[in-house]
Structure 1
Amino acid sequence: MLLLDIKNLTIELSTANGLIRAVDRVNLSLREGETRGLVGESGSGKSLIAKAIVGVLNKRWRVTADRFNWAGKDLLNLPYEQQRKIIGRDIAMIYQEPSRSLDPTAVILEQLEEAIPAHVLDGPWWKRSYLRRHKAIALLHKVGIRDHQSVLQSYPYQLSEGICQKIMIAMAVAKSPKLLIADEPTTALESTTQAQLFRLLSSINQLKGTSVLLISHELESIARYTQTLSVLYCGQLVEAGETAAILKQPFHPYTNALIKSVPEFQPDLVPKTPLYALPGSIPVLQHLPIGCRLGPRCPNARKECVKTPAIERLQNHYFSCHFPLTGKTV
């Protein structure tokens, strides 16, 4: 079943100089039980897309789409109250920098109990307090926190970033969402803690059937934990498809550059050889290139690239490039 179905999502920022298009006609879909990766450089619009899905962008942002369906319902055309009810019930999000997302003035027990909805508590009303605490302890055990007593009575600043991130995951899965969005869940964490968190998200997907949208700027971090992958550059979708197929044969020059820049994906790389990198840097929103936004940095750029390329499809592999690496030209 197709849970999330977004076509031509556009997100624009209202400024004194007019609208700035931060996300440009992006397509994104997610099936029930699927784990999809959303990867791209910082500033490519990944977090904006996630916040648009959960509806937390402020009024300065203008969100439009040809289709923005959740389980067959168009969220953008629903009344606000009904939209919030559906999102609050079915979608949960884990933000980056968890210590900033948690309330610094409340202990973890209070925050975790607040995240537990009443309908998951099976028992009489006079036992609600006991049931909530019991459920909070069970959630901490589920995410790998065994010393629940000290954690529940601690404030966020007294805990490590890794523990805080696990608490955020526990709060997110408390309502058994159909979709879990993890926005840079391993930022500033050490490698062993990163691996633990990714394995935790993978187990939630496998055991509960929860769909997961993993967002990261590090391709190697999420490639092994995702079934499908979408690659963004500067607000434009450049490639999407099965993760294994994209890693084996990327069609877009930007995806190819991401793969070549990771030593793990280059087993034949001679030691001390400089890693591949595109020239230049990602442009700022106020000075975006016309047409394909990779154009000024692309090694295959030609005059046709001043026009925005259409999305092409080869089986289940999608790419947006006038001169893809398959040798096909549009």
Structure 2
Amino acid sequence: MRLLDIRNLNIELLTSDSSIKAVESANFSMKMAEVSGLIGESGSGKSLVAKALVGMLNNRWEVTADRLHFMGQDLNRMSESKRRKVISDNISMIYQEPRRCLDPTSNIFSQLEESLPDYEFSGWFGAKKELRIKKCIRLLHKVGIKEHEKVFNSYPHMLSEGICQKIMIAMAIAKEPKLLIADEPTTSLEGDTSLKVIKLLKSLNQLKEMGVIFITHNLFSITSWADSINVMYCGQLIESGLTKNIINAPKHPYTKALFDSEPDFKSRDINNKQKLYALKGTIPTLQHLPIGCRLGPRCPNAQRACVKIPEQQKIKGQFFRCHYPLQQKPLQNNWKKA
């Protein structure tokens, strides 16, 4: 049984005049206890996919999918209350801006205690309260917060962005969910703490068999432990497959450009003040998308066929959308089918 199976996911922003398609025909799947990386430039739709999965988008957004299965259950066919119950019990998310996600009117202990599952505690009221306090302390220690008493009595505006991020991580892992969605979880953290957080997520994945969707710009932080990688560009999932295959033999030019833009500090050929590789141009706005392949105006390999929308192709378990995949012969007549 797959942990997650999404087919033809579309997310549209409804405006007074028309609708803007922010995510188009995305297919995404995960096995139980799998770590899946979701990478791409800012504005590519990574966070929208995560928020759509946990039901965090408001009425301005329209989310549709041919299939939206979680642990064999079809979330699309559930009532709103049942869907919230399934998501609340099994899925947690770490958000990019933790201070905005925490309640400014409640102290940290109240918010952390609220995230604890009730079934873990039994006995009379005083004993349960003591157990819950101990559990909250252990959670804060896990994420690297030692001065728990000071943090317990504080409000979000009194703490740094880094501390708030650690608190969000503690709240997310409190229920030991089957799926943890980590949206740039180490952005606000210092280098040493960032490594500790990644090690913590690794241990939870291995010991608790917790699946992880890791959304990040830091490719090195995810390629070292992710089982699979999914690359998004301009609202489309353009390539996905096993991590080793994506790294060693990317099929889409954009995927290769992402990895080429990262400095290789192990290489002896790197020089001081050497310019990093950067793909020419900028990501287009959703209101003015290019005709055909989304990467066409920026792609170094663009040809005449690229004015047609490329279909999803599969080579040895690796999915991609490109008329002329790297290290392969051009797909003959593929543009005629689009």
What interval of TM-score do these two structures reach, taking the shorter chain for normalisation? over 0.9
Match of 2:298 in 1: 297
> 1:175-210 deviations in whole A, cap 9, x for unaligned?
121000011112233322322222221122122111
Task: Report if the CA contact (8 A) 1:259-1:265 is conserved.
Answer: no
Structure 1 residues 147, 114: CA separation in 2 closer, same or farther (over 3 Å shift)?
A: same
Task: Report if the CA contact (8 A) 2:261-2:278 is conserved.
Answer: yes
Give distance in 1, aligned partners of 2:265 and 2:228: 17
Match of 2:211 in 1: 211
Task: Report if the CA contact (8 A) 2:34-2:211 is conserved.
Answer: yes
What residue identity is the alignment partner of 2:254?
A: Y
Task: Report if the CA contact (8 A) 1:113-1:132 is conserved.
Answer: yes
Identity level (%)? 55
Match of 2:101 in 1: 101
> 1:255-282 deviations in whole A, cap 9, x for unaligned?
0000111112782543143222111100
> 1:20-60 deviations in whole A, cap 9, x for unaligned?
11101111111111111100100000010000000111111
Query: How far off is 1:153 after superposition?
Result: 1.9
Deviates more, 1:124-133 or 1:210-219: 124-133
> 1:117-176 deviations in whole A, cap 9, x for unaligned?
211213344533222212211222232323322222222233333322221111111112
Match of 2:202 in 1: 202
What residue identity is the alignment partner of 1:23?
A: V
Match of 1:318 in 2: 319
> 1:228-249 deviations in whole A, cap 9, x for unaligned?
1000000111111111221111
Deviates more, 1:116-125 or 1:202-211: 116-125
What residue identity is the alignment partner of 1:142?
A: K
**1:257 and 2:257 correspond:** yes
Query: How far off is 1:89 after superposition?
Result: 0.7
Task: Report if the CA contact (8 A) 1:92-1:172 is conserved.
Answer: yes
Structure 1 residues 291, 269: CA separation in 2 closer, same or farther (over 3 Å shift)?
A: farther
Match of 2:335 in 1: none
**1:192 and 2:192 correspond:** yes
> 1:288-319 deviations in whole A, cap 9, x for unaligned?
11221111101111222122212211222211
What residue identity is the alignment partner of 1:181?
A: I
Task: Report if the CA contact (8 A) 1:227-1:242 is conserved.
Answer: yes
Give distance in 1, aligned partners of 2:84 and 2:266: 45
Give distance in 1, aligned partners of 2:329 and 2:269: 28
Give distance in 2, aligned partners of 1:270 and 1:142: 38
Give distance in 1, aligned partners of 2:23 and 2:267: 35
Give distance in 2, aligned partners of 1:269 and 1:299: 24
Residue segments in structure 1 that go unaligned for 5+ positions in a row = none
Structure 1 residues 225, 157: CA separation in 2 closer, same or farther (over 3 Å shift)?
A: farther
Give distance in 1, aligned partners of 2:162 and 2:223: 21
User: Match of 1:231, SS?
Assistant: strand
What residue identity is the alignment partner of 2:90?
A: D
Give distance in 2, aligned partners of 1:264 and 1:270: 8
Give distance in 2, aligned partners of 1:266 and 1:305: 36
**TM-score, normalised with respect to structure 2:** 0.92
Match of 2:244 in 1: 244
User: Match of 2:62, SS?
Assistant: strand
Give distance in 1, aligned partners of 2:145 and 2:266: 36
Give distance in 2, aligned partners of 1:185 and 1:270: 30
Match of 1:279 in 2: 280
Task: Report if the CA contact (8 A) 2:4-2:31 is conserved.
Answer: yes
Query: How far off is 1:96 after superposition?
Result: 0.8
> 1:91-133 deviations in whole A, cap 9, x for unaligned?
0001012122212232211111111121121334453322221
Match of 1:54 in 2: 54
Match of 2:334 in 1: none
User: Match of 2:69, SS?
Assistant: strand
Deviates more, 1:194-203 or 1:62-71: 194-203
Task: Report if the CA contact (8 A) 1:186-1:194 is conserved.
Answer: yes
1:1-330 to 2 correspondences below 5 Å: 1-125=1-125, 127-264=127-264, 267=267, 269-271=269-271, 272-330=273-331
